[in-house]
Amino acid sequence: MINRERLEKHIEELSQFGMQSSGGINRFSFTEEEVRGNEYIQQCMEEAGLTVSFDAVGNVIGELPGNEGKAPIIIGSHIDTVPHGGKFDGALGVLAAIEVAHSLKDQGVQLTSPLKIVSFKDEEGTRFGFGLLGSRAMAGILKEEELEWKDDQGISIKDAMIEVGLEPEKINEAKVKQVAAYLELHIEQGKVLENEDVPVGIVTGIAGPSWKEVTVKGLSEHAGATPMPIRQDALVAASEMILNVEQIALKYKDAVATVGKLTVKPNGVNVIPGEVTFSLDVRDVDNERCAKIVTEISEMIQAVSEKRGVQSEITELQTVSSVQADAKLQAIIKEAIVSKGVKPISLVSGAGHDAMNFASLCPMGMIFVRSKDGISHNPLEFSSMDDCAIATDVLYDTLIRLDQTL
């Protein structure tokens, strides 16, 4: 059993670093607020009996030794926030992991595997638009040229690292050599668990987004002088395409497709829209199915264009591969959840997490905690203490059960 009061105290205290008068938290990487937040994490880790170090990219690592020659289990998340972020996104995962270690100490339980608890650097990518920095470095997939990403002031990640005393040329030293398994507890940031009326869930995989930009070209003409049957209205065509995007995504259970951005030219009251550009974000935890959905959408866009006499072009922006959670780890998390008398619910993560970067290195597992109204990246982000405590208990139980299998 974990100590609920201590966990609650830690969540409250950490939330004060970067707290704004509006109730939101600004705790961005490479800022004073983050430095103080990290000092607080270091103190919590030390109280939990962990040996603390900072690696080349600025990840905070708390370690417990295990039996000689065994690979470590890593439990991680992050404490940086988006602008006006909430108390739970990332922070709960780090504090829950520390609470698990503290409870092991309280109960005199010794694991056979070494344990590394990590608070990852810059997961959100708020400042540089480049997220998952710390977990990429630890997984050994961060490239030195990626440190050239710049913020609005033209300052690069590399410059920011140097400013806080880190050595960018040493990022390769942050790479872990061997990992037995990776675990992460995180708030769901959606409504699946709330709709199922359960406090925790088992993540089956993390869906990476496929981003495209669609440009539809018609003909700009006078809105009064052009009869309806002979128009080539780019916005009407785009509208039909967008409605069809929704219908295509609805056919697939775990898929989501979103058009979130739209530009209309010339954007005048009395002009038929001649050109429309819209964004497309498609996600499915199954990479093949995601590609299939994108193909289906592309064919639909072509068909609508022909029917309406407009031209359209689809440009690839980026595609991030989806990753699967390890089946054995999912089964262990399920056992832990059932042992708490909770109905086990499996769900997909539509948002990216540090865990993504470990899926190709070792078995990866994630535990989601119910989010009130599915809200996150907002001061209203909330998970009840009952839910946080039960999820942390599930993490504790999962770790013990996992260690016995290694």
Interaction site with Zn ion (CB under 5 A): 89-90
Q: How far is the CB of 348 from Zn ion (least distance, A)?
A: 16
6/78 with CB nearer Zn ion: 78
Q: How far is the CB of 131 from Zn ion (least distance, A)?
A: 9
- Tell me the C-alpha to C-alpha distance, in Å, between residue 253 and each of 33, 178, 249, 297: 41, 36, 8, 16
Q: How far is the CB of 244 from Zn ion (least distance, A)?
A: 32
Q: How far is the CB of 372 from Zn ion (least distance, A)?
A: 16
How far apart, in Å, do the first and last CA atoms of the chain sit? 22
Q: How far is the CB of 351 from Zn ion (least distance, A)?
A: 7
Integer Cα distance of 304 and 217 in angstroms: 12
Instruction: Count the neighbouring beta carbons within 10 Å of the beta carbon of residue 247.
Output: 10
Sort strands 181-187 and 364-369 into parallel, antiparallel or unpaired. parallel
117/272 with CB nearer Zn ion: 117
Q: How far is the CB of 272 from Zn ion (least distance, A)?
A: 44
Q: How far is the CB of 31 from Zn ion (least distance, A)?
A: 17
89/233 with CB nearer Zn ion: 89
> Which residues, in sequence order, are bridge partners of residue 227?
none
89/397 with CB nearer Zn ion: 89
7/82 with CB nearer Zn ion: 82
Read off φ and ψ for residue 373, nearest 5 degrees: 55, 15
186/212 with CB nearer Zn ion: 186
DSSP letter for each residue of 5-27: HHHHHHHHHHHTTTB-TTS-B--
Amino acid at 380: L
55/89 with CB nearer Zn ion: 89
Read off φ and ψ for residue 345, nearest 5 degrees: -120, 130
Query: Which residue carries 């031209």 as its tokens?
Result: 311
| Structure tokens belonging to residue 67 | 């039996």
219/320 with CB nearer Zn ion: 320
Q: Which stretches does DSSP call E strand in 31-168?
A: 51-54, 60-64, 73-78, 115-120
Nearest residue by C-beta to Zn ion?
90
Q: How far is the CB of 220 from Zn ion (least distance, A)?
A: 44
Integer Cα distance of 208 and 352 in angstroms: 7
90/218 with CB nearer Zn ion: 90
Sort strands 181-187 and 73-78 into parallel, antiparallel or unpaired. parallel
Instruction: Count the neighbouring beta carbons within 10 Å of the beta carbon of residue 115.
Output: 22
For the chain, the 3-state helix, strand and coil shares in percent, each to the nearest 5, are 40, 20, 40
Q: How many helices (H) and strands (E) does the chain have?
A: 10, 14
Q: How far is the CB of 94 from Zn ion (least distance, A)?
A: 10
